[in-house]
Amino acid sequence: MIPYWFVAPAVILFLCFTIYPIISSLLLSFQKMDGGRYVFAGFANYIRLFHDSVFLKALYNTFIILIIQVPIMLILALILASALNSQLLKLRGFFRVGFFMPAVTSLVAYSILFSILLQDSGLINDFLGLFGIHKIPWLTDPFWAKVSIILALTWRWTGYNMVIYLAAMQNIPEELYEAASLDGAGRIRKFFNITVPQLKPVILFTAIISTISTLQLFDEPYNLTKGGPANGTMTLGLYIYQNGFKYFDFGYASAIAYVVVIIVGILSYIQMKVTGDD
């Protein structure tokens, strides 16, 4: 009986606050409000999604941010990690802490901080002005607003991923590099032929984590750009929130949430297949 007592609190909480909501929102996604109560509506909510230009825009924006931001961030993190792993470098611990610092800031706090930095007459435009670059409409143009989100995300998460890579790099056997040196391989060849292949499982891990969290992106568009301008930074997460808690259309919001569930499932599966099953 002992193990049952140990797992019971977790299982009861899990059933009430995770399993029940997951099933309930699946059912809700097939329901519609009618005369003050929810009634079965078949696939109506899902069909509506295909004609909803804001949803399609949210889907597009989320994918643009995902496809551009995640690779840029992971590549930057890999480069920084191999620089920090260099034997020429002193003060490694100091750099590591400095690069990790953005990752401990609250999501809301850094989003708001960036919304101030990126204003028309904000610090970043002042700085670019020094190089003769005209003011960039970071938050008032749909294209640049997406760039703003990408910049902010990259600032917040690059160091976090870098620390993961740096730790994994310390487990790569030194002999591999020595053997490559004897064969006359330079730094760049060693990076691509040794470092990257050796880190494959870790890169896969960070890619999946980043993908799942980007698909749920909410705090940044809510606080940095409010989803605008002209829905230019509307994301799936933000659209679920708007439908659920601004329009109180729970059925429709649940359908969008389940689209995210399906996309997460498909993408994780593809990523695992593509990168091989280590």
Instruction: Tell me whether residue 99 or residue 144 sits nearer to other proteins (CB atom).
Output: 99
Q: Segment 23-62, which members bind other proteins (CB under 8 A)?
A: 24-25, 28
Q: Determine which residue in the list 56, 67, 123, 128 makes contact with other proteins, applying CB under 8 A.
A: 123
- Paired residues of 38 in beta bridges: 33
How far apart (Å, rounded) are the C-alpha atoms in residues 34 and 42? 13
The reply on whether position 10 binds other proteins by CB under 8 A is: yes
The reply on whether position 270 binds other proteins by CB under 8 A is: no
Closest approach, Cβ 119 to other proteins, in A, equals 7
Binding map of other proteins across residues 159-178, x = CB under 8 A, - = no contact: xx--xx--xx----------
The reply on whether position 181 binds other proteins by CB under 8 A is: no
Stretch that binds other proteins, among 39-47, 66-74, 95-103, 172-180 (CB under 8 A): 95-103
Q: Determine which residue in the list 63, 95, 177, 191 makes contact with other proteins, applying CB under 8 A.
A: 95
- Paired residues of 32 in beta bridges: 39
The reply on whether position 3 binds other proteins by CB under 8 A is: yes
Closest approach, Cβ 216 to other proteins, in A, equals 5
Instruction: Tell me whether residue 25 or residue 231 sits nearer to other proteins (CB atom).
Output: 25
The reply on whether position 118 binds other proteins by CB under 8 A is: no
The reply on whether position 116 binds other proteins by CB under 8 A is: yes
Closest approach, Cβ 113 to other proteins, in A, equals 5
Specify the DSSP element, H or E, that contains 267. helix 250-274
- Paired residues of 37 in beta bridges: 34
Q: Segment 127-166, which members bind other proteins (CB under 8 A)?
A: 127, 129, 155, 159-160, 163-164
The reply on whether position 113 binds other proteins by CB under 8 A is: yes
How far apart (Å, rounded) are the C-alpha atoms in residues 201 and 206? 9
How far apart (Å, rounded) are the C-alpha atoms in residues 89 and 107? 31
Instruction: Tell me whether residue 166 or residue 231 sits nearer to other proteins (CB atom).
Output: 166
**What is the SS3 assignment for 131-153?**
CCCCCCCCCCCHHHHHHHHHHHH
